[in-house]
Structures are given as C-alpha cells and as structure tokens.
Structure 1
Amino acid sequence: MRLCVRGSMLKLSKAYTCLGGCNCSTDVVTSGIEVYCRGKNMHRIPAEALAREAWGSVVIDFGLNELSALPANAFRGQTKLKRLILDHNDIEKVVNKVFFKIVNVQDLDLSRNLMPKLPELFLKKLPKLLYLDISINKITKLPRSVLGRTVQLLTLSANGNMFRSIPQKLPTSLIEIQLANNAIKNLTSLDMDALYDLEHLVVLDLSGNGIEFIFNGVFSRLANLKVLDLSQNSLDSVSAATFDGLRNLEALFLQNNPTLNYIPATTFTNLPRLKYLFLYGCGLRSVSIPDTGLNVKYIWLFGNPLNCNCRLVSLAMYLQTSKV
C-alpha cells in the first residue's frame, strides 16, 4: 500500500487501516501516522481501535466533536504521539492517568471545553510538553503542582477562563503566557510572586480582565519581556513604577482603558527599548512626553478626548524631533 503525502510517496504497512470515519496521512519527516477525526460527531474515544490501528500516531485530532469524558485508557500505547488535539468538545473532567502513557507529547490542546478544574497530577508524565492550551474553559485556578513537572513548557494559553489571579508555581521555562479575558481585577503582591521566577518570559497578555489596580513593581523580574498587553481593562492610572524592570519591553498595549485619563510624563522613561505604544480608545485629555530617554517609533492616540493645551506641547515636540 502506498500513500501520496505532500508530493512524496511513502510506503505504509499493509496491516495499517485508518479509524473508521476518520482521515489519516503520514508525516513525511517522521513517517508517523496522523489521525484526523475532527468534526465526526463522536461521543467517545474509540480507545481499543485507536490502540490497535493507530499505535504509531504522531498527531491525533479529536477536536470539534461531542466528547464529554476521557477514559484513563484513551491513549494507551501512543508512545510516539507528539500532538494531541481535543478542542471544541464538552469535556468536563480529566482523570489523572489519561495522559500517563503519552510521554512524548509536545503540544496539548484542551481549549473550548467545559472543565472547571484540572487534576493535580494530570501532566505528571508529560516532561516534554512545550505548548498547553486550556483556553475557554471554566477553570478558576491551577493546583500549585499541576505544571511543576512540565519543565520545558514554552507557551501557556489560558484565555477565557475564570482566573482571579496569575497562577502560582508556573514553569520557569515559559516564554509566553496568555491570560486574556479572565477575572483578574487587581495585580497584587501575590501576582508579583507568581511572576517572580519567570525570567525567560517574552509575551504576557492580561487584556480584557477588567484590571483596576497594578501593584508597583509587579513586573519587575521580567527583564526579558518584550510584549505586555494590558488593553481592554479598567485602569485609571499608571506610572513609572508600574513598569519597573521592563528594560527590554518593545510593545506596550494600553488601549481601550476608558478610565485612563492621565499618564505622567515620566511613566515610560525606564523603557529604553519601547517602540510601539498603544494608547487609543482611552480617556486621555493630555499626554506628556519627556524630551529624552525614549525610543518610541509608533504611538496610537486616536479615540481620546485630548484637549489642546500646553501639556500637548511636549508631545508635539517629541513627534517632530523623533519623526514618529
């Protein structure tokens, strides 16, 4: 039996058959099987058939189905699996052992389900996990040890849940955290503790939370952060202390904070690498910019009720001299 994949002819075992109703192909590089059962109106995972007929899979996609539970033996024998996709289902509960046998998984997508919590040990056997997506569930918090063993995790996507604070004990390997559209109303010293050891973090998205207050220095340990998104919140003030320590920040998103009506001139003076500053859709009546110390190339200010007064002179001079 031969299968043409992306212009290459790959020889498959004669014993190989795809799961009924699903689509299968072969990865050109690894020769592993890719199983796509997406949108097949499935109510359960055919664990026995999966173990018998797709034991060499590198990708398994059960997204866009009607799965409500994952049995402990769902992925038995899938030792070569690299990517597991379970998004857009009705999964409410994940048992600890369901992922214990897929030790080589690097990408796990559990987004758009109904999970209120994650079991403490469910990622215990996934030391090679790089990307975890738990967005748009009903999760309120993560147990302190739930991600502790994912020592190589690079990206955590947890948008659209019910977190009230930044989860504690996150892997220090993380370079991107997505926590948009949760219920984080204030960034306090507890959030500062949560971010304390994340020295490799490059992207932090906290947009759409309704944040009203930011504890001074909460980001101070994020020396490598390049992108910070605080848009679509309810901030009424920021200062230089708000962004203390962000010496490598390049893009700052503050747009659509309607209660933000004034920004002190010194606010961005300790951000020497800042290039992109988003301030549109706020309540700013004036903007003061220092004469030196900034490297901003693009500023977005439309949609603010700016008053034409002396405080805008510094902005006009900055725009003229820096050719923004």
Structure 2
Amino acid sequence: CLLLRRQIIRGLSSVGVILTSSVLLAISSSREHCSYSHLLLCSSSTFCQLSFILSSFICFSRLRRLTWLYIDHNFVQTVSPGAFSGVHRLRELILGSNRIGDLDASTFQPLPNIRNLDLSYNRLEHLAPGLFSGLRKLQSLQLRANAIRSLPNRPFRDCRALEFLDLGYNRLRALPRTSFTGLKHLTELHVERNRVVRVDVIRLGPRLPNLRALYLKLNRIDMLSHIPPPRWTSLQVLDLSGNGIQQLKPEIMERLPNLEELKLDSNKLEVLEPDAFMSLSSLVFLSLTGNPWACDERLCGLAAWLHSFKGHHGGGMLCAGPEQLAGDNVLEALESHNLFSSPSPPSPEHDLEQMSLQKVVAGCAALILSVLVILLVVFISWRRYPASVRHLQAATSGGKRHGFGGSREAAGTGVQTTSQAAIIPLEYYVDYKTTNADFEANIWQPRCESHHELIPICHQSIAQTLPQYNNFVMKDWTNI
C-alpha cells in the first residue's frame, strides 16, 4: 500500500492534484489504477487512514510542475516544515477543513509564488511570527473559523500584494495598530464574529488606503472612536451590525465621503442626531433594523432624512418606547402622533413663481452681457484706431483756426497776414464745368492787385461771374 502510494506521487506529471476525501490515505487492497498524466481525483472509498500524511515522510518534492494542490476536508493534523519543499511553482494551496493545530514559521517559505492560501476551518490558536514572511505574491489569505486569540506584531508585513484577508469567526479580542502594516493593496477585510470590544475604525485608513469593504459584525463593539479621524476615501462598505453601539457621532461619518453601504442593524441605538448621515452623499443602502428606537421628537431629524433618502434603508424600524408606541413602525408612529409630518410635494404655483424668477434673472444676465460686449467692441476699436489719423485730424482743425485768425489780422495791418499765410497754407478747391469756349475766355482773367498774394484767382471776378453761370461749383471756399 505504501509502495503504491509512493509510485503514484512519483509518477504525477500534471499541474494539479486534488485529494478530496474524508481522510487522506494510501490506496486500499482494490489497487485501483489512477492515470498519471491527468488530474488525480481519488474518492474516500479508495483510501485508508494515514496519520502524518503531510510530514517530512510524505513530501511533494518530485512534483516540480505542481501548480494547484487541494487537500481540504481531510484529517490532516500536522504539517512539517519540509512538506512543500520543491514545489516552488505552487500558486494555490487549499488546506481548509482539516485538524491542523500548529504551523511552523518556515512551513510556507518554499512557496514564493503562492497566490491563494486557505487555512480556514482548522484548529489554529496562534500564528507563529514570520509564518507568512516571503509571500510577496500572496493575494488571498483565509484564516476563517479557527481559534486564533491574538495576532503577532506585523504578521503580514511581507504580503504586499494581499487583496483579501479573512479573519472572521475567531477569538480575537483586539486589533492592534500594527496588525495590518504593509497591506497597502488590501481591498476586503473580514473580522466578523470575534470578540473585539473596541476598534478605531477610521484609524485603519492610513494603514489600509485601498480598503473598500470592512466587515465587523457580530463583535462586542460598544462605541467608536470620538477622536477626529482622517478621511478614508476608499471605503465603500462598512458592516457594524450585531454589536453594542449606543451612539454614532456625525464626525465619524463625515470622514467616509464615499461610503455606499452601511449596516447598523441589531445594535443599541435609541436616537441619532439629525445630521448623522447628511455627509454620506454616495450612500445607496442603509440598515437600521433591530435597534431599540425611542419614538419621540429627538428622532424627527432622522425621520425627515429617511423620507428624502433616495436609496434603500431596509425598513423594519420598530419603536421600543414609549409604551403606547412599542412595536409600531418608527415613521408611521411619528406621523400618526403629529411628531413628524412628511414633506408635501411643491404646488404648481410655487413652480410657476420659481420659473418666472428664473426668467427675470436670465433676462438681466443677458442684458448685462450685451452691454459688456458693446463696451468691449468700442474699447477695442478705439485702441486699434491709427494714431497717425488722429494727429492728422488735429493738425487740420488747428490749421483752419489759424487761417481764420490770419484773415482778420490782415484787414488791420497787412503784414501778419502774409506771414501766417506762408506758414499755414490756405486750401481751397474749385470744381467747375464748362459749356462753351466763351465761358473759359471770360472767366479766367486774373486781376490781382499785388504779386504777393498767394490767391491765383481774384475773388471779385469770380464773385461777379458766379450768378451768371450755373455750372460753376466752388468747394471749401472758406479760406478765401
């Protein structure tokens, strides 16, 4: 029997071995032949009991290609340090539902590539320091349903890739701050059904920055920390049901802005502050059943918030007092005794008033915007207007003013007129149309009295001839 068992282990060349039976034994007298090139599955009827199956006497050193090993639901009591020597490719090891009571610190050191390790439903009372050292690729660790009373200092410091950790259904009384050091990638933590009395839920945030789900139900927690904690933005699920919590401060909920699911059922909550859940804008599920609610005016704030809550709150909140309301639904009892009235929907008139006010505000905003646009266009045009044109206009207007002054002074003295005329030239334009040759002969006969005059055409001749010929047009004669 023993020789045949050794031949089976020596001849295995597949990547997986499943030994699911009530006991892990050698083959019985039936001598059934199992294929060596495929997955080996042997039922309980083909085994006889063997006590130290995972001792150094029986090892898997020849199974160098072994990747998955399932030895759950057996009667394994002892695992020697060298039981897994030589199977460095092993990625998944299932040892759940056995009778293992102790593990040496070097048991899993030959498994650097292990991803999933299941030790649940055994008889472990403590974890040896350094038991999980070197398991840098471990992603899932299950220690559920053992008898673990305490955790050593930094037991998972080398498990940097760990994402799932199950410590539920043990006998833990406390969660030291150093228990989860190094678990920066942990997303789900189970600590339900233990004996934890007090826990700093939010203090775990800096050590578990990527944790999304925390399960602490069925413990003995009576209060949460009142110290203002840092924000824990990654947490989405928090289960505190089945504890002895008597009060919940809004400051704690304010530190969980992205919480989506909160379970507080079966605690000892009687009242909650009106703004206890006001900061939980992402909340979609809330469970408050099984608490001894005091149905009085102190609960009106919570009732108003529940009426406006768009998620699911489970219902089933029953009054524990006063006596005349005991057993009644909380919301119905508050409404029936005029302690709280549910908000009525807004009337159509109110909606119309809001719409008209919105229209007025929108019109004023549009008017102000239009004025600003016009002013902006004017400002840009003024800034882009050529400076040379402005200077030319100023010079032209100044010349005209000087011309008028020179004419008046020339009538009195005659000397200043000549100097000003030389400095500021007089401009005029004559446009005319001739009808015959005689007109040109008669018109252009200059009779100037002085050769110093700058005006080439005598104004007297033009003035005398102007009424007789309608085709003569003068332009800008103001300077003559």
Report the TM range for the smaller structure's normalisation.
Answer: 0.7 to 0.9
**What corresponds to 1:309 in structure 2?**
334
| Cα distance between partner residues in 2 of 1:70 and 1:271 | 48
Shift of 1:114: 1.0
Contact 1:141–1:167 at 8 Å: present in 2 too? no
Contact 2:191 2:216 in 1 (8 A): yes
Alpha-carbon distance in 1 for matches of 2:218, 2:291: 14
User: Residues of 2 paired with 1:144 and 1:52: CA distance?
Assistant: 32
1:62 Cα deviation (Å)? Answer: 1.1
Larger RCO (alpha carbons 8 Å, 6+ apart): 1
User: 1:36 aligned to 2:10?
Assistant: no
Residue in structure 2 matched with residue 93 of structure 1 by the alignment:
102
Aligned to 1:309, what secondary structure does the other structure show? Answer: helix
User: 1:203–1:222: structure 2 CA closer, same or farther, 3 Å change rule?
Assistant: same
Shift of residue 44, structure 1, vs aligned partner: 2.8
Displacement after TM superposition at 1:108 (Å): 0.5
- The equivalent of 2:195 in structure 1 is 183
Cα distance change of structure 1 residues 223 and 41 upon mapping to structure 2, 3 Å threshold? same
**What is the count of residue pairs matched by the alignment?**
292
C-alpha deviation, 1:231, in angstroms: 0.5
Q: What is the rounded CA distance, in whole Å, between the counterparts of 1:275 and 1:153 in structure 2?
A: 28
Give 1:272's aligned residue: 281
Q: Deviations over 1:1-25 (max 9, x none)?
A: xxxxxxxxxxxxxxx97549xxx9x
Q: Provide Cα deviations, 1:185-207, integer angstroms capped at 9, x if missing partner.
A: 1224xx65444321101000000
Determine the structure 2 residue equivalent to 1:249: 259
Give the SS at the match of 1:242: helix
User: By how many angstroms is 1:50 displaced?
Assistant: 4.6
Give how far 1:223 is off: 1.3
Rounded Cα–Cα distance in structure 2 between residues aligned with 1:178 and 1:233: 15
Q: CA deviation at 1:282?
A: 1.6
Going from structure 1 to structure 2, the CA distance change for 1:297 and 1:18 (only over 3 Å counts) comes to: farther
Greater per-residue helix proportion: 2
Query: Unaligned regions of 5+ residues in structure 1, if any?
Result: 1-15, 27-31
| Higher-Rg member (1/2) | 2
Kept after mapping to 2: 8 A contact 1:198/1:221: no
Which residue does the alignment assign to 2:292?
283
* Residues 259-289 of structure 1, C-alpha deviations (whole Å, 9 max, x = no match): 2121221110111101100111221234424
Give me the TM-score of the superposition, normalised by structure 2: 0.56
Residues 303 and 215 of structure 1, relative CA distance in 2, 3 Å threshold: same
Q: Is 2:235 the partner of 1:262?
A: no
Whether the 8 Å CA contact 2:16–2:68 is kept in 1: the answer is yes
Equivalent of residue 171 in structure 2, options 143, 146, 162: 162
Where does residue 148 of structure 2 map in the other structure? 139
AA paired with 2:264? L
Q: Which residue of 2 aligns with 1:4?
A: none
Q: Distance in 2 between matches of 1:162 and 1:115?
A: 11
RMSD: 2.9
- Tell me which residue corresponds to 1:59: 68
- State which of 108, 113, 123 in structure 1 corresponds to 2:132: 123
Separation in structure 2 between the aligned mates of residue 218 and residue 82 of structure 1, nearest angstrom? 42
TM-score (norm. length: structure 1): 0.81
Residue 269 of structure 1 aligns to which amino acid in structure 2? M
Identity over aligned pairs, percent: 23
Q: Tell me the equivalent position of 1:213.
A: 223
